[in-house]
């Protein structure tokens, strides 16, 4: 049908264009308060899994600070004495794997990077390469549906039928594995750091996974564990290894339970765990057991609560909201499934996951306030691998974890676009996150950071809208910016090929924004990340105040009062804990730190010897040895 007239046609077109323009220009307001919710950002959220396959300068330029190197499933049966491991995803064949050499190479090439390995808790590890399944002779080592069959140790492959996950004849694990008790697994600490060890710097290897995904061992490692160990027995093994590790390495960061994914967060196998008539889901039971052990023995067996998460998203828009699964009590997660078992039955009435917040609540219940246990996500995937989606989803998680004090974050899947986001955040974000809520939080978020002196600020604006640009007005409080033009750096419209090459060769597009009366307005493209880099008019604060906190104790050795000084400069409650060299807690107190005056601890009742001092608050976590000499 023809339009009634050219005039009517043009009018309709004009109205349509105005409507589109109005939608694109929909306003968002961000309110920054540099004095509210100030939290230190752990540098270890800038991490990843797997090995280094690029020059050291690449990782330095990208800002990678943390590397989880243990290989996940391949860590469970690693024999550090023989430097071999059994690969459950490849017939259980045993191959060389030299953690010693890798660690030495890391200390040389990446001396400032924190590296995570793992203890073995399953009870058996690789012993010999002599009984491997001849995969080369079978099919030139090609992947096929049967690579998970248990064929090492004399097995026969099953090539017919629908159940190709099971061998026609399973191999004998006694031929290629050996018994591996707790003393053997923690022996790597003496081998690496002891007086007769290979001389590694233990301060670069603080974080240790307590194995990997033990809750599914009857699937991944069914050759040595065809039936899943009970939750109680696993906790017994976990606690034994944790205590022995703490005795050898008091400063260690013990990271568990390293749980597989959402279903396993709430349920251990088919068990219904009840204590004195009360049902406990798996995570709360794990926390209770760790807390009960610490209260009974005085030995801390958990430092970082570590989980894995491979999110489910039926659409890309859902994937862009997956960061809300961790702390948002109002978010209905489409992948909520194990959550249905949280109270012991099958209740589908809620899809509100908020898993990190739940863990924090359980930690407070069983350990009490100021417990000092942090959270980590050591395996994760952004879901979509389209570069702009991956970049924005990953960047949103970095911002969310910075705001909430997550200890480390090491994605397992790494897609094009993620190096760009890592570089932008790790290079240009400051050391402390502050409050910056958005009027349209679920579409456009701002992640704002300041340095310690609060005279430098970076506002990172993430637009998760898949279709529309957004006009964002940012109002600043607790920070005075002059009326001037400031630099912006933006990631948008990333191509399908990798763009990040180095700090000077990447996809960041420089621009500027004008600040007037402590406010600025900027239009950000769809699926984009934009950093606005601001300087305050307040100056004159010494540079040293933006350095990492340093712990000073004096006198050392000490007879009576130990004085404690650290350059945090932020007044807040601070936990002071003293451990003996067996990892037993000797003294614990919460003190009011005023931001500058030294704290004092009475150690006059201590016997002669060496002790570990731990100082923790929202902005620092520091340890140092001292000695008592009488």
- Closest to 377 in 3D by CA, of 409, 413, 418: 409
Which residue has tokens 């690579």?
Answer: 147
Is a pLDDT exceeding 60 seen at residue 16? Answer: no
Q: Could you give the percent of the chain with pLDDT greater than 90?
A: 79
Widest distance between CA atoms in the chain: 103
40-129+174-434, CATH topology level: TIM Barrel (3.20.20)
Condensed to tens digits (0 to 9), the pLDDT of residues 375-391 reads 999 999 999 999 999 99
Q: Which CATH architecture has domain 548-628?
A: Sandwich (2.60)
Provide the CA 265 distance to its chain's centre, in angstroms. Answer: 16
CA dihedral for 231, 83, 64, 464, sign (positive or negative): negative
What does DSSP assign to residue 73? G
**What is the band of 563 on the pLDDT scale with cuts at 50, 70, 90?**
confident
Token pair of 541, please?
């604060």
- Pick left, alpha or beta for residue 231 (phi over 0 → left; psi -120 to 50 → alpha; otherwise beta): alpha
The answer to which of 99-108, 124-133, 595-604 has the lowest mean pLDDT is 595-604
67-92 average pLDDT score: 97
Residue 592's H or E segment, with its range, is strand 585-593
In this structure, are strands 374-380 and 124-126 parallel, antiparallel, or unpaired?
A: unpaired
DSSP string, 263-328: HHHH--TT--EEETTEEE-HHHHHHHHHHHHHHHHSB---SEEEEEE----SSHHHHTTGGGGTT-
Q: Which whole number is the average pLDDT over 263-280? A: 97
Task: Give the per-residue SS3 of 415-454.
Answer: CCCHHHHHHHHHHHCCCEEEECCECCCCCEEEEEEECCCC
**Residue 21 pLDDT greater than 50, yes or no:** no
* pLDDT over threshold 90, residue 75: yes
What's the token pair of residue 135?
């995969």
pLDDT at residue 223 is higher than 80: yes
Residue 8: pLDDT band with limits 50, 70, 90: very low
Rounded mean pLDDT, 406-410? 98
Residue 541 pLDDT > 80: no
Residue 569 — very low, low, confident or very high, per pLDDT cuts 50/70/90?
A: low
- Cα separation of 52 and 146, whole Å? 29
Interior CA angle at 322 toward 321 and 325, to 5°? Answer: 115
Phi and psi for 364 in degrees, rounded to 5? -65, -40
Q: Report domain extents, the chain.
A: 40-129+174-434, 548-628
Answer whether residue 426 shows pLDDT above 60: yes
- Contact criterion met (CB below 8 Å) for 102 and 84: no
| Global pTM value | 0.85
Residue 102 has pLDDT above 70, yes or no: yes
* pLDDT, tens digit, 9 for 90 and up, residues 286-325: 999 999 999 999 999 999 999 999 999 999 999 999 999 9
| pLDDT value at residue 549 | 61
pLDDT at 548 over 80: no
The dihedral through the CA atoms of 561, 567, 571, 574 has a sign that is: negative
Query: What average pLDDT is seen over the chain?
Result: 92
Mean pLDDT for 121-140 is: 98
Token pair listed for 516: 């007037």
Distance in angstroms (rounded) separating the CA atoms of residues 473 and 436: 12
Q: What is the pLDDT of residue 546?
A: 40
User: What pLDDT does 630 receive?
Assistant: 60
Give the pLDDT score at 538.
59
Q: Which contiguous run of DSSP H or E holds residue 187?
A: helix 182-193
CA distance 41 to 402: 5
Give the mean pLDDT of 47-75: 95
**pLDDT computed for residue 583 by the predictor:** 74
**Strand ranges inside 158-204, DSSP E:** 177-179
pLDDT, one tens digit per residue, over 134-169 is 999 999 999 999 999 999 999 999 998 767 789 999
pLDDT value, residue 323: 98
Task: Tell me what the mean pLDDT of segment 323-341 comes to.
Answer: 98
């Amino acid at each position: 049908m023809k339009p009634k007239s050219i005039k009517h046609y043009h009018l309709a077109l004009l109205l349509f264009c105005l409507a589109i323009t109005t939608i694109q220009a929909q306003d968002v307001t961000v309110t920054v308060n540099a004095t509210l919710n100030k939290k230190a950002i752990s540098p270890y959220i800038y991490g990843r899994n797997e090995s280094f396959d690029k020059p050291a300068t690449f990782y330095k330029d990208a800002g990678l600070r943390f590397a989880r190197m243990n290989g996940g499933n391949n860590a469970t049966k690693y024999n550090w004495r023989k430097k071999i491991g059994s690969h459950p995803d490849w017939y259980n064949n045993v191959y060389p794997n030299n953690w010693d050499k890798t660690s030495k190479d890391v200390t040389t090439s990446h001396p400032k990077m924190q590296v995570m390995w793992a203890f073995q808790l399953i009870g058996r590890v690789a012993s010999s390469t002599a009984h491997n399944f001849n995969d080369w002779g079978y099919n030139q080592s090609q992947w096929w549906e049967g690579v998970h069959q248990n064929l090492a140790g004399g097995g026969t492959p099953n090539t017919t039928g629908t159940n190709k996950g099971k061998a026609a004849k399973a191999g004998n694990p006694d031929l290629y594995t050996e018994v591996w008790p707790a003393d053997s697994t923690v022996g790597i600490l003496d081998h690496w750091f002891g007086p007769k060890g290979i001389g590694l710097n233990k301060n670069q290897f603080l974080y240790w996974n307590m194995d990997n995904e033990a809750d599914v061992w009857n699937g991944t490692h069914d050759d040595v564990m065809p039936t899943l160990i009970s939750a109680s027995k696993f906790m017994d093994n976990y606690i034994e290894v944790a205590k022995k590790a703490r005795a050898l390495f008091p400063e260690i960061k013990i990271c568990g339970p390293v749980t597989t994914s959402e279903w396993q967060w709430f349920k251990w196998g088919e068990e219904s765990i009840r204590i004195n008539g009360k049902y406990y889901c798996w995570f709360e039971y794990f926390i209770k057991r760790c807390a009960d052990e610490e209260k009974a023995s005085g030995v801390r067996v958990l430092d970082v609560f570590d989980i894995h998460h491979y999110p489910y998203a039926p659409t890309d828009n859902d994937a862009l909201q997956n960061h809300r699964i961790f702390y948002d009590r109002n978010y209905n997660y489409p992948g909520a499934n194990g959550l249905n078992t949280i109270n012991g039955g099958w209740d589908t009435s809620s899809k509100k996951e908020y898993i990190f917040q739940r863990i924090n609540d359980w930690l407070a219940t069983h350990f009490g306030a100021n417990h000092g246990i942090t959270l980590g996500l050591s395996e994760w995937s952004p879901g979509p691998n389209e570069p702009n989606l991956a970049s924005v989803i990953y960047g949103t998680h970095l911002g969310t974890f910075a705001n909430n004090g997550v200890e480390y974050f090491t994605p397992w899947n790494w897609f094009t676009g993620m190096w760009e986001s890592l570089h932008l955040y790790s290079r240009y974000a400051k050391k402390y996150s502050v409050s910056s809520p958005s009027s349209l939080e679920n579409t456009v978020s701002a992640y704002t950071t300041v340095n310690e002196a609060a005279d430098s600020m970076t506002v990172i604006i993430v637009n998760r809208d898949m279709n529309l640009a957004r006009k964002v007005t940012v109002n600043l409080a607790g920070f005075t910016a002059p009326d001037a033009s400031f630099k912006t750096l933006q990631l948008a419209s990333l191509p399908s090929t990798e763009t990040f090459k180095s700090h000077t060769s990447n996809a960041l597009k420089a621009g500027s924004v004008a600040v007037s009366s402590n406010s600025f307005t900027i239009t950000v493209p769809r699926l984009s990340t934009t950093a606005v880099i601001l300087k305050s008019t307040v100056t004159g604060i010494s540079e040293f105040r933006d350095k990492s906190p340093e712990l000073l104790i004096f006198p050392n050795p000490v007879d009576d009062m130990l004085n404690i000084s650290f350059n945090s400069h932020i007044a807040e409650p601070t936990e002071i804990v003293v451990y003996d060299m067996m990892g037993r807690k000797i003294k614990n107190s919460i003190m009011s730190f005023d931001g500058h005056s030294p704290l004092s601890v009475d150690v006059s009742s201590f016997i002669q010897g060496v002790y570990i001092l731990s100082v923790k608050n929202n902005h620092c976590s520091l340890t140092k040895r001292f000695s008592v000499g009488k």
